[in-house]
Amino acid sequence: MLFRKLLACAFAAVVTTSTAQSTDGILDLVRRRLPDHVDDFIFRLLENQTTPITSATNSTNDAYTISSTDAGKIQVEGNSLIALASGLHRYLTDTMHVDIWWGIGSRLDVGPVILPPLDQPIKGSSIVPWRYHFNTVTFSYTAAFWTWEDWELELDWLALRGVNLPLAWVGQEKILVDAFRELGMTDAEINAYLSGPAFQAWNRFGNIQGSWGGDLPMEWIDNQFELQKNITARMVELGMTPVLPCFTGFVPRAITRVLPNATVVNGSQWSGFPTEFTNVTFLEPVDPAFTDLQKSFISKQAEAYGNITHIYTLDQYNENDPYSGDLEYLTNVSYNTWKSLKAADSQAIWLMQGWLFFSNSAFWNISRIEAYLGGVADNSDMLILDLFSESAPQWQRTNSYFGKPWIWCQLHGYGGNMGLYGQVMNVTINPIEALSNSTSLVGFGLTMEGQEGNEIMYDLLLDQAWSGSPIDTSAYFHNWVTRRYSGTGDIPQELYSAWDTMHSTVYNNTNLTTTAVTKSILELSPNITGMLNLTGHHATTINYDPNMLVSVWKTLFSAASANPALWNNPAYQYDIVDVTRQVMSNSFDDMYTSLLSAYTSSARSNATIQAAGTNLTSLLTSLDTVLSTNPAFSLSTWISSARSQTSNTTIANFYEYNARNQITLWGPSGQINDYASKSWGGLVSSYYIPRWEIFTSYLMTTEVASYNKTILDALLLQWGETWGNKTSGPTMSVEGPAVANLTTVLGGLSGDWPGIFGS
Ligand SMILES: *[C@@H]1O[C@H](CO)[C@@H](O)[C@H](O)[C@H]1NC(C)=O
Ligand SMILES: *[C@@H]1O[C@H](CO)[C@@H](O)[C@H](O)[C@H]1NC(C)=O
Ligand SMILES: *[C@@H]1O[C@H](CO)[C@@H](O)[C@H](O)[C@H]1NC(C)=O
Ligand SMILES: *[C@@H]1O[C@H](CO)[C@@H](O)[C@H](O)[C@H]1NC(C)=O
Ligand SMILES: *[C@@H]1O[C@H](CO)[C@@H](O)[C@H](O)[C@H]1NC(C)=O
Ligand SMILES: *[C@@H]1O[C@H](CO)[C@@H](O)[C@H](O)[C@H]1NC(C)=O
Ligand SMILES: *[C@@H]1O[C@H](CO)[C@@H](O)[C@H](O)[C@H]1NC(C)=O
Ligand SMILES: *[C@@H]1O[C@H](CO)[C@@H](O)[C@H](O)[C@H]1NC(C)=O
Ligand SMILES: *[C@@H]1O[C@H](CO)[C@@H](O)[C@H](O)[C@H]1NC(C)=O
Ligand SMILES: *[C@@H]1O[C@H](CO)[C@@H](O)[C@H](O)[C@H]1NC(C)=O
Ligand SMILES: *[C@@H]1O[C@H](CO)[C@@H](O)[C@H](O)[C@H]1NC(C)=O
Ligand SMILES: CC(=O)N[C@H]1CO[C@H](CO)[C@@H](O)[C@@H]1O
């Protein structure tokens, strides 16, 4: 425990930079979200985080006390700004029963008009000094086209939930471009390296380079840079320590033109991309140019955003194998990288995703991990994200990363896939066990690839960071429902009951064959084998009884009979669409199986295949109508956010191409096809339905013995490319039916699909 404190101290001591602390940032949050209650709250900071040696050394965790004052105000006292935000959240959620949500927005203003007084003070303190948020790729899967308004919502969500260590690497291309230009590279040479707006995360850690479908425009780079100024300033105001990017070593091929003697190697090939787009050039850290670029990057960055952090994200081998597995080589790479960071910022801490140790455990045996981490001689100069702790923790086999501080993270889902899923036991019991087993564990964090649904699972882990024993998840779900559906009168028992059932089923997966959010096969490129019962990364297995979920749906639906005002409740609108989506996806599996039976039956006829195919596409049409009732489940939201980043139509078309390509082919010709697929209104109708129609007609015209997956895949790929090149035009009319009325649409389901939704 003492060791943990010392490590935490080392961080706390170095990350504090500004002078006197103001609580204005927290008051501004109240002003944004609870404008009617600005004068009802008092925030008092009990310690200055600016005196690191005395106070931060002695207080590693955040703590708050909430109480009522004689004047009838709610006072939140805390030892840090994030403690104040966390205390405010505790009052809002537990006493006022309101919250702020992804995909729904802020519902903080629907609570009681008069703030309920507290009989007794409420106290809370974190059990770990750091709460981390973001996977490197969340920035592409979820936030690629976010506006400042989207970011404001996210940052308020994070602050209230006590996150004090968020990744902040929007807009880093601006810094890189400036550094490369200074080296003498031309813009054409730099552009050959940079990837499109929907693919920047993978460019930044050297999986891919270059852009398909057009070059990254300078206006994108400039706008994102401006956006990052807002983001970092707000993070600091809210009491967070941003994790900023730095120079990783990945460079344009032209490095050897401007530095003919540079020591470079090529990174490995990623996910079947052609060499043009992968095998990214890596400047060896031993080369003096590496340190020069590091200094250039970090000083330019500090100039732009201020000296706001000493923690830098730096991944060199994320799904990208080192040039050599030689132990000495690995130690040298990390040693020189660390030295470069220290030369640029003497207090630098290197934050790294530990994903590689899981994803390529064949390469990263214990000796190699030890060699690579060992290059950083001072343990407190590094911070590792144990990226997938709930399913595939690496901290045990690495002996707690050989003493390096690390963070227990829930990854939960890939590619922003949509499926109801959670492991309530593993995200409550395991981090607490880890805390008592590992002295260098200093935080809990969320590293989802995309923020798509299942919000309760993320809330749960962030709340676990304030409870020394595993949370009672049954009570937790109950309380969560109370705040989830506030603002429209009584919360019917049905809502509690539906969530209680999901708590012990969809959110209590314990089957080790499915370790993350499940995928719906309706989103996968059709074929006749291998779609159902997939396990692992993108499992398609349903680990609960699908009939149970149908009865959950009925219970949820009947809640609105008990309280019809729920139809106007954004949380209810979101959740019922989400559960309907899952029920229909589950039923799709059966219809697909029927189609295969019709195809392989000895009595096969075109009529039976056609009928089975039509059944399946009709279901998708209904699904599309349901999804299209809600912008959070609509393709048009994604595409219009991409297009509206610019006023230039040619550039808007390029952004739209990026947006479409990421969620479908993911690569110029389907390199990681359907990885980031989505059940979105407009996408189901315009993309998946035609794909299943192509499949059905292929089956009708092809004998079982002549079935040729290569031919079928070519047809489907051609369709993928056609769809990906479409543009919505300036008027933004994205394919799909007009937004329909949710009440009518859901009310019609039991008539349209009696086999699924009927009583
Ligand atoms: C924090 O620092 C400011 C400025 O130095 C000082 O006025 C204030 O009293 C300090 N507050 C605490 C709680 O130490
Ligand atoms: C930054 O925030 C200001 C408001 O504070 C806003 O006007 C501006 O558009 C934002 N910048 C970007 C790039 O979104
Ligand atoms: C590159 O290395 C060669 C041989 O060591 C040397 O002659 C030359 O001056 C170097 N060029 C630069 C630009 O450093
Ligand atoms: C790309 O990487 C692969 C290994 O993943 C390697 O076999 C190939 O030679 C590399 N190509 C280039 C041009 O570096
Ligand atoms: C950031 O810190 C460095 C090193 O202490 C200093 O040289 C630089 O002026 C500071 N920059 C800003 C913007 O405060
Ligand atoms: C839960 O955690 C345990 C211990 O780390 C692990 O063995 C198990 O695989 C996890 N459960 C699932 C469903 O991944
Ligand atoms: C913690 O340590 C105990 C005793 O060594 C061991 O039995 C247990 O499995 C460990 N738990 C985890 C999560 O590693
Ligand atoms: C979750 O499943 C496990 C294993 O089946 C069971 O022991 C546990 O009680 C369940 N928890 C809940 C909350 O349903
Ligand atoms: C876990 O899921 C797999 C794949 O669906 C299944 O074969 C297995 O029976 C399940 N295990 C348990 C214990 O339910
Ligand atoms: C059929 O598609 C699924 C899902 O994309 C895939 O896992 C499976 O390998 C494919 N089957 C064959 C024979 O390629
Ligand atoms: C998938 O799993 C279900 C449930 O275990 C089983 O009934 C079905 O036969 C499996 N389908 C395939 C294609 O393996
Ligand atoms: C437990 C602990 O770290 N205490 C320290 C608190 O701060 C003072 C002043 O720096 C130190 O002397 C204590 O050792």
CB 167 within 8 A of CB 243: yes
Ligand 2 atom 1, closest CA: 230
438: CA distance to ligand 8 center in Å? 26
Amino acid 536: pLDDT: 82
CB 302 near ligand 5, within 6 Å = yes
Structure tokens at 214: 């057009």
- Asked whether residue 727 is domain-assigned, the answer is yes
Q: Identify which of 571, 667, 685 has the alpha carbon closest to the alpha carbon of residue 627.
A: 685
CATH code for the domain in which residue 74 is found: 3.30.379.10
The pLDDT tens digits for 13-33 are 344 444 457 999 999 999 999
CB within 8 A of 2, min separation 6: which ones?
none
Cβ proximity of 21 and 50 under 8 Å? yes
360 lines ligand 4 (CB under 6 A): no
User: CA–CA separation, 426 vs 388, rounded Å?
Assistant: 11
DSSP H stretches of helix in 563-605: 570-600
Measured from the Cα of 433, ligand 7's closest atom is: 13
Which pLDDT value is given to residue 735? Answer: 62
Residue to probe by mutation, ligand 7, list 437, 438, 441, most atoms within 8 Å of CB: 437
Evaluate if residue 599 carries a pLDDT over 50: yes
Pocket of ligand 12 (CB under 6 A): 53-54, 57-58
Atom of ligand 12 nearest to the CA of 57: 3
Question: Looking at ligand 10, which residue's alpha carbon is closest to its atom 13?
Answer: 529
- Give the end of a domain, one of 86, 106, 125: 125
Q: Is the pLDDT confidence value at 637 over 60?
A: yes
- Looking at residue 264, its pLDDT comes to 98
- 3-state DSSP call for residue 394? coil
The answer to whether residue 500 is domain-embedded is no
For the CA of 474, the closest atom of ligand 8 is: 13
How close is the Cα of 334 to the center of ligand 3, in Å? 26
Q: How far is the CA of 382 from the centre of ligand 5 (A)?
A: 22
CA of 385 to the centre of ligand 8 (A): 28
pLDDT at residue 60, rounded to an integer: 72
| Chain mean pLDDT for the chain | 94
Query: Could you identify the atom of ligand 3 that is nearest to the CA of residue 259?
Result: 13
In this predicted structure, which of 162-166, 254-258, 735-739 has the lowest mean pLDDT? 735-739
- Dist. CA 235 → ligand 2 center (Å): 14
The phi, psi pair for 43, rounded to 5°, reads -115, 130
Query: Is residue 54 pLDDT above 90, yes or no?
Result: no
Ligand 2 atom 7: residue of nearest CA = 148
The helix, strand and coil proportions of the chain, stated in percent and rounded to the nearest 5, come to 50, 10, 40
pLDDT at 649 over 70: yes
**The domain that contains 649 carries what CATH number?**
1.20.120.670
For residue 318 the two structure tokens come to 């994320």
> Contact, 313 vs 136, CB < 8 A?
yes
For ligand 6, atom 8, the nearest C-alpha belongs to 391
The HSE-up count of residue 735 (CA atoms within 13 Å, CB side) is 17
What SS3 state is found at 346?
A: coil
- What contacts 545, CB < 8 A, 6 or more positions away? 505
- Residues 216, 140 share a domain: yes
Of 83, 107, 125, which marks where a domain is finished?
125
Shortest-distance ligand to the CA of residue 60: 12
> pLDDT (tens digit, 9 = 90+) per residue, 28-45?
999 999 999 999 999 999
The residue contributing the CA closest to ligand 10 atom 7 is 530
644 closest CA partner among 77, 146, 130: 146
Residue 224 lies in a domain: yes
Look at residue 309 and give its three-state secondary structure: coil
Ligand 5 closest atom vs CA 303: 13
Q: What is the CATH number of the domain that holds 196?
A: 3.20.20.80
Cα(427) to centroid of ligand 6, in Å?
10
- List the one residue out of 165, 159, 140 whose CA is nearest residue 384: 165
- Which one of the ligands is nearest to 390 CA? 6
Q: What are phi and psi of 41, to 5 degrees?
A: -115, 145
Distance between Cα 437 and ligand 7 center (Å): 6
Assigned domain for 4 exists? no
Is residue 426's pLDDT more than 90? yes
Which neighbouring-strand residues pair with 313?
245, 351
391 and 529 housed in the same domain: no
Ligand 1 touching residue 48 (CB < 6 A): yes
Question: 354 pLDDT exceeds 50?
Answer: yes
pLDDT of residue 730: 60
Yes or no: say if 312 and 243 are a contact pair by the CB < 8 Å rule: yes
| Pair 679, 647 in one domain | yes
Task: Please say if the pLDDT value at position 119 is more than 70.
Answer: yes
Which atom of ligand 2 lies closest to the CA of 147? 14
Distance 590 CA to ligand 6 centre (A): 29
How far is residue 445's CA from residue 464's CA, in Å, rounded to a whole number?
Answer: 10
Under DSSP, is residue 296 helix (H, G, I), strand (E, B) or coil? helix
Give the H or E element holding residue 125: strand 122-125
Does residue 253 sit in the same domain as residue 226?
yes
User: How do residues 302-316 score in pLDDT, each as one tens digit?
Assistant: 999 999 999 999 999
With a CB cutoff of 8 Å and minimum separation 6, the contacts of 515 are 388, 390, 391, 392, 536, 539
Q: How confident is the model at residue 49, as a pLDDT?
A: 59
Of residues 53 and 743, more confidence is placed in 743
Tell the residue nearest (CA) to atom 7 of ligand 3: 261
Name the residue at shortest CA distance from atom 9 of ligand 5.
303
398 pLDDT more than 50: yes
* Contact indicator for 308, 17 with CB cutoff of 8 Å: yes
Residue 501 has pLDDT above 90, yes or no: yes
User: What's the rounded mean pLDDT across residues 700-717?
Assistant: 97
- Range 266-281 average pLDDT: 98
pLDDT of residue 733: 60
- pLDDT, residue 515, reads 94
Count of H-run helices and E-run strands, the chain: 30, 17
- Ligand 2 binding pocket includes 543 (Cβ within 6 Å): no
Q: What is the mean pLDDT of residues 243-271?
A: 98
Check if 28 has its Cβ closer than 6 Å to any atom of ligand 2: no
pLDDT at 759: 75
**What is the number of the ligand 7 atom nearest to the C-alpha of 434?**
13
Q: Which of 46, 168, 29 is nearest to 89 (CA)?
A: 29
Q: How far apart are CA 295 and CA 303, in angstroms?
A: 12
* Radius of gyration of the CA atoms of the chain, in A: 26
Average confidence (pLDDT) over 202-210: 98
The pTM of the full predicted model, rounded to 2 decimals, is 0.95
Query: Would you list the DSSP string of 147-198?
Result: -HHHHHHHHHHHHHTT--EEB--TTHHHHHHHHHHHTT--HHHHHTTPPPTT
Same-domain status, 137 and 38: no
Q: Are residues 463 and 587 in the same domain?
A: no
Residue having the nearest C-alpha atom to atom 1 of ligand 5: 307
569 and 636 fall within a common domain: yes
Percent of the chain with pLDDT over 70: 94
CB of 610 sitting under 6 A from ligand 4: no
> Using 50, 70 and 90 to split pLDDT, how confident is the model at 47?
confident
Q: Are residues 99 and 139 in the same domain?
A: no
Ligand nearest to the CA of 508: 8
Q: Do 113 and 225 sit in the same domain of this protein?
A: no
Structural domains of the chain, count: 3
The DSSP secondary-structure symbol of 23 reads S
Please report whether residue 12 resides in a domain.
no
Report the nearest-CA residue for atom 10 of ligand 5.
307
Point out the least confidently predicted range of 417-421, 505-509, 535-539: 535-539
For ligand 5, pick from 175, 297, 307, 342 the residue to mutate: most ligand atoms within 8 Å of CB: 307
CA distance 475 to 679: 31
Determine the distance separating the centroid of ligand 12 and the alpha carbon of 7, expressed in angstroms.
14
Q: φ and ψ at 375, to 5 degrees?
A: -65, -25
Residue 667 DSSP class: S
Q: Which ligand is nearest to the CA of 436?
A: 7
For ligand 12, atom 3, the nearest C-alpha belongs to: 58
**In whole angstroms, what is the distance from residue 139 CA to residue 168 CA?**
9
Distance 511 CA to ligand 9 centre (A): 6
pLDDT one-digit tens code per residue, 251-261? 999 999 999 99
**Ligand 10 atom nearest to 524, measured from its CA:** 5
Question: Among positive and negative, which fits the CA dihedral 319, 322, 326, 332?
Answer: negative
Range of the domain at 685: 519-535+547-757
Pick the residue whose CA is nearest to atom 5 on ligand 7.
437
Answer yes or no: is 467 within a domain: yes
Closest ligand 9 atom to Cα of 541: 5
Answer for the pair 627, 689: CB distance below 8 angstroms, yes or no.
no
Following DSSP, what letter does each residue of 603-659 receive, concatenated?
T--HHHHHHHHHHHHHHHHHHHHHHTT-GGGBHHHHHHHHHTT-S-HHHHHHHHHHH
Same domain? 722 vs 688: yes
Q: What is the mean pLDDT of residues 516-537?
A: 95
Give the mean model confidence (pLDDT) for residues 613-634: 96
> Span 69-87, mean pLDDT?
96
The answer to whether 730 and 649 are in contact (CB under 8 A) is yes
Asked if residue 710 has its Cβ within 6 Å of ligand 10, the reply is no
Is pLDDT at 122 greater than 80 in this prediction? yes
> How far apart are the C-alpha atoms of 136 and 450, rounded to whole Å?
10
The set of residues, in sequence order, having a beta carbon less than 8 Å from that of 303 and lying 6+ positions away, is none
Placement of tokens 């970090």 in the chain = 298
Residue type for position 604: R
CB of residue 72 inside a 6 A radius of ligand 10: no
CA distances to 581, 609, 705 from 612, rounded to whole Å, are 20, 5, 20
Q: How far apart are CA 379 and CA 377, in angstroms?
A: 6
- Residue with the smallest CA separation from ligand 9 atom 12 is 511
Same domain, 74 and 166: no
Task: Return the SS3 of 74.
Answer: strand
Contact 642, 656 (CB under 8 A): yes
**Dist. CA 493–CA 93, nearest whole Å:** 19
Confidence band, pLDDT 50/70/90 cuts, at residue 736: low
Residue 730 sits in the same domain as residue 588: yes
Residue-wise pLDDT tens digits, 438-484: 999 999 999 999 999 999 999 999 999 999 999 999 999 999 999 99
For residue 246, being part of any structural domain is answered with yes
Supply the angle between the helices 455-464 and 473-484 in degrees, to the nearest 10: 120
**Is 377 a member of any domain?**
yes
